[in-house]
């Protein structure tokens, strides 16, 4: 069994921890997170039991989209450090036994990237074709009805009289993969970082990388509500997402990655019925993001269905993953309520599949409120767009201590974003001292996962819980067996699970107070409690 664990690649057995570099730790006293800061906090990741860090973009950028608008793929934003500091950072990360995954934003660049500066300089510039340029519609106006998150997906470039295409901000022009030089350029960028020791990439918006070249109008989406949703959702994206050609682009990325041993390709894609296609035939993403737990209601019946369906739909040999938070979504304690917070932790850390874990979730960090004037503190960072980022943000500084600025930056310095309310109790220092805290629970969960092959890489079997409000499943590898039983209700429950005999004991409760208690029949669960039961090995 231990062999099964040792034999699995690191990205299957481990926990991937997302760091939002602006907000993790300020190392130079300017109120903004940076590499030096992250480096000083590596102990926290080791103590937590994380296996890999995924860093949101760290490259030079005008920051119109917090770094998802890259102006130079082969350097580090001066706010975050230098290339030399990055090299030392990789060494420090590896020295702690951790892996490092970078964000690869390869659907668009910044409008300040030299490729785009050249491309827009004239119609016959050699890089013109690196982006998507079209003439105005006959009679004027954008070439077709395609939309971005913010309005039309086309921006007129006065100089040449043509429009360029972007599904995010106008400062994020999209590249044209029909020109093979574009894919080749991104492959070189990947090699640049892989040679520096990076262990893989999280590729941004991969479903969008190819667009149909007939440029036909897209149909309106009847489910669109203009007052609540970004313009992007006003159309059914028949021609701008999930196009067959994206798979060739991803296969190309994967081939490049595979030139280096033991690396990972994680793909970010919005919910799509085509999710499983992004595994390819084992030649595309190792882990195409699974956002189902984020998007669907917090309900055990829904969860059982979606977990079972996801498990059943996985192509042969494909490895699952579960995401419960990221920088684009509300913190899960805000989404599903703090009461269920511990159950959510137990769920994501005991399902079959790599947990992709967002910084701060391990202490139960909430969204922070962001007054509009707080955004002006870094001149180059745009204020949030009200349609996409609300006044509550999941990107506030990590809460390390109960002290000033939560230990994120020195006292007296104004952090780039205000610290979320409640940091006096919700922080790493206080929670480390409290053996019943959320952080203590998460450490125990990850420890159990790391030391139990069945939980890390074993099979999953759905169990009919026989009662409302419950989710139950088995994780098993040979004789190593666990039952996970989660109470989604705010009231106690008694459960008569089939097969629960005297061999089972409580390996962990979300309340951390039932160590090795025999799992009596019926099993009693308190309100909002989850338990992991372990079967004693059968005597031979
Ligand atoms: C992804 C990122 C998001 C960014 C967008 C455009 O969805 O997670 O933050 O705005 O891509 O790059």
Q: Using CA atoms in the order 321, 324, 326, 328, what is the torsion angle rounded to 10 degrees?
A: 110
Q: Mean pLDDT throughout 188-200? A: 98
pLDDT at 410 over 70: yes
Strand-by-strand arrangement of the 162-165 sheet: 133-134, 162-165, 154-157
pLDDT (0 to 100) of residue 338:
92
pLDDT digits (tens, 9 = 90+) for 435-492: 999 999 999 999 999 999 999 999 999 999 888 999 999 999 999 999 999 999 999 9
Choose the residue to mutate in 205, 209, 233, 327 for probing ligand 1, maximizing ligand atoms within 8 Å of C-beta: 205
Q: What proportion of the chain, given as a percentage, has pLDDT over 90? A: 86
Q: Whose CA is nearest to atom 6 of ligand 1?
A: 68
Q: What proportion of the chain, given as a percentage, has pLDDT over 70? A: 96
Q: How far is the CA of 205 from the centre of ligand 1 (A)?
A: 7
Q: Give the whole-angstrom CA distance, residue 197 versus residue 191.
A: 10
pLDDT at 380 over 70: no
Q: Give the whole-angstrom CA distance, residue 21 versus residue 219.
A: 38
pLDDT digits (tens, 9 = 90+) for 501-514: 889 999 999 999 99
Q: How far is the CA of 4 from the centre of ligand 1 (A)?
A: 36
pLDDT at 210 over 90: yes
Cβ neighbours around 411 below 10 Å, total: 8
329 contact partners, CB below 8 Å, separation of at least 6: 294, 335, 394
Tokens of 350: 């005991």
Choose the residue to mutate in 21, 65, 71 for probing ligand 1, maximizing ligand atoms within 8 Å of C-beta: 65
Q: How far is the CA of 509 from the centre of ligand 1 (A)?
A: 36
Is-catalytic flag, 273?
A: no
Residues near ligand 1 with C-beta < 6 Å? 65, 68, 105, 168, 204-205, 268, 327-328
Please say whether the beta carbons of 485 and 533 come within 8 A: yes
**73 has which bridge partners?**
none
How do 16-19 and 52-55 pair as beta strands?
parallel
Tokens of 519: 């799992």
pLDDT (0 to 100) of residue 179:
98
pLDDT digits (tens, 9 = 90+) for 312-338: 999 999 999 999 999 999 999 999 999
Give me the phi and psi of 235, to 5 degrees please. Answer: -125, 155
Q: How many helices (H) and strands (E) does the chain have?
A: 15, 20
Q: How far is the CA of 45 from the centre of ligand 1 (A)?
A: 24
Tokens of 47: 């103590």
pLDDT (0 to 100) of residue 288:
98
**Range name among 154-163, 181-190, 494-503, 509-518 with the lowest pLDDT average:** 494-503
How do 392-393 and 368-369 pair as beta strands?
antiparallel
Is-catalytic flag, 174?
A: no
Give me the phi and psi of 385, to 5 degrees please. Answer: -80, 125
Mean pLDDT over all residues of the chain?
A: 94
pLDDT digits (tens, 9 = 90+) for 342-377: 999 999 999 999 999 999 999 999 999 877 666 556
Tokens of 277: 């296609």
pLDDT digits (tens, 9 = 90+) for 248-284: 999 999 999 999 999 999 999 987 789 999 999 999 9
DSSP tag of 297? -
CA end-to-end span of the chain: 17
Residue holding tokens 């739909």?
313
Q: How far is the CA of 7 from the centre of ligand 1 (A)?
A: 34
Exposure on the CB side of residue 115, measured as CA atoms within 13 A = 22
pLDDT (0 to 100) of residue 390:
56
Q: Give the whole-angstrom CA distance, residue 98 versus residue 75.
A: 22
Q: Whose CA is nearest to atom 8 of ligand 1?
A: 328
Choose the residue to mutate in 168, 174, 395 for probing ligand 1, maximizing ligand atoms within 8 Å of C-beta: 168
pLDDT (0 to 100) of residue 426:
98
Q: Name the pTM for this structure.
A: 0.96
333 contact partners, CB below 8 Å, separation of at least 6: 341, 364, 365, 366
- Distances in whole angstroms, Cα of residue 163 to Cα of each of 18, 137, 160, 174: 36, 10, 9, 12
Q: Whose CA is nearest to atom 12 of ligand 1?
A: 68
- Place 539 in a pLDDT band, splitting at 50, 70 and 90: low
Q: Mean pLDDT throughout 163-180? A: 97
Q: Give the whole-angstrom CA distance, residue 63 versus residue 381.
A: 5
The one catalytic residue among 47, 217, 259, 464: 259
The one catalytic residue among 51, 69, 157, 204: 204
Please say whether the beta carbons of 359 and 23 come within 8 A: yes
Q: How far is the CA of 104 from the centre of ligand 1 (A)?
A: 11
pLDDT digits (tens, 9 = 90+) for 386-408: 545 556 789 999 999 999 999 99
Residue holding tokens 């180059």?
380
Exposure on the CB side of residue 476, measured as CA atoms within 13 A = 13
Exposure on the CB side of residue 221, measured as CA atoms within 13 A = 16
């Amino acid at each position: 069994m231990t062999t099964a664990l040792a034999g699995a690649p690191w990205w299957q057995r481990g926990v991937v921890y997302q760091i939002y570099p602006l907000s993790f730790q300020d190392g130079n006293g300017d109120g903004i997170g940076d590499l030096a800061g992250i480096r000083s906090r590596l102990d926290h990741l080791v103590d937590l039991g994380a296996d890999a860090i995924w860093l949101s973009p760290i490259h030079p950028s005008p920051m119109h989209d917090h770094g998802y608008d890259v102006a130079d793929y082969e350097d580090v934003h001066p706010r975050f450090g230098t290339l030399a500091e990055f090299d030392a950072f990789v060494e420090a990360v590896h020295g702690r036994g951790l892996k490092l995954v970078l964000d690869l934003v390869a659907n668009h660049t910044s409008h300040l990237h030299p490729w785009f500066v050249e491309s827009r300089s004239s119609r016959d510039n050699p890089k013109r074709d690196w982006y998507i340029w079209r003439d105005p519609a006959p009679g004027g106006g954008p070439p077709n009805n395609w939309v971005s998150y913010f309005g039309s997906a086309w921006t007129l470039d006065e100089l040449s009289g043509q429009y360029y295409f972007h599904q995010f901000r106008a400062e994020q022009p999209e590249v044209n993969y029909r020109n093979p030089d574009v894919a080749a350029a991104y492959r070189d960028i990947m090699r640049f970082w892989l040679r520096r020791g990076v262990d893989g990439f999280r590729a941004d918006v991969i479903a969008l990388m190819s667009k149909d070249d007939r440029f036909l109008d897209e149909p309106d989406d009847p489910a669109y509500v203009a007052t609540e949703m970004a313009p992007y959702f006003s159309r059914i994206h028949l021609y701008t997402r999930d196009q067959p050609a994206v798979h060739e682009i991803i296969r190309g990325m994967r081939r490049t990655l595979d030139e280096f041993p033991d690396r990972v390709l994680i793909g970010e894609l919005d919910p799509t019925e085509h999710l499983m296609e992004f595994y390819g035939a084992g030649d595309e993403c190792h882990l195409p993001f699974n956002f189902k737990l984020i998007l669907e209601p917090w309900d055990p019946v829904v969860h059982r269905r979606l977990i079972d369906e996801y498990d059943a739909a996985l192509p042969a040999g494909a490895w699952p993953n579960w995401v419960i938070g990221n920088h684009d979504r509300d913190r899960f304690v805000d989404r599903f309520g703090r009461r269920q917070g511990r159950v959510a932790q137990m769920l994501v850390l005991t399902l079959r599949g790599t947990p992709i874990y967002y910084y701060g979730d391990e202490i139960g960090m909430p969204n922070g409120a962001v007054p509009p004037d707080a955004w002006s503190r870094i001149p180059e960072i745009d204020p949030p767009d009200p349609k996409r980022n609300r006044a509550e943000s999941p990107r506030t500084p990590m809460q390390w201590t109960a002290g000033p600025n939560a230990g994120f930056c020195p006292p007296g310095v104004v952090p780039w974003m205000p610290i979320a309310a409640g940091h006096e109790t919700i922080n790493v220092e206080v929670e480390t001292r409290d053996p019943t805290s959320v952080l203590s629970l998460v450490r125990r969960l990850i420890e159990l996962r790391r030391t139990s092959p069945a939980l890390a890489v074993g099979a999953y079997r759905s169990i009919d819980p026989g009662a409302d409000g419950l989710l139950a499943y088995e994780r098993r590898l040979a004789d190593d067996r666990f039952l996970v039983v989660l109470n989604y209700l705010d009231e106690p429950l008694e459960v008569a699970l089939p097969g629960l005999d005297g061999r089972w004991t409580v390996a962990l409760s979300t309340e951390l107070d039932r160590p090795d208690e025999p799992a009596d029949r019926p099993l009693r669960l308190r309100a909002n409690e989850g338990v992991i039961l372990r079967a004693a090995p059968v005597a031979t």
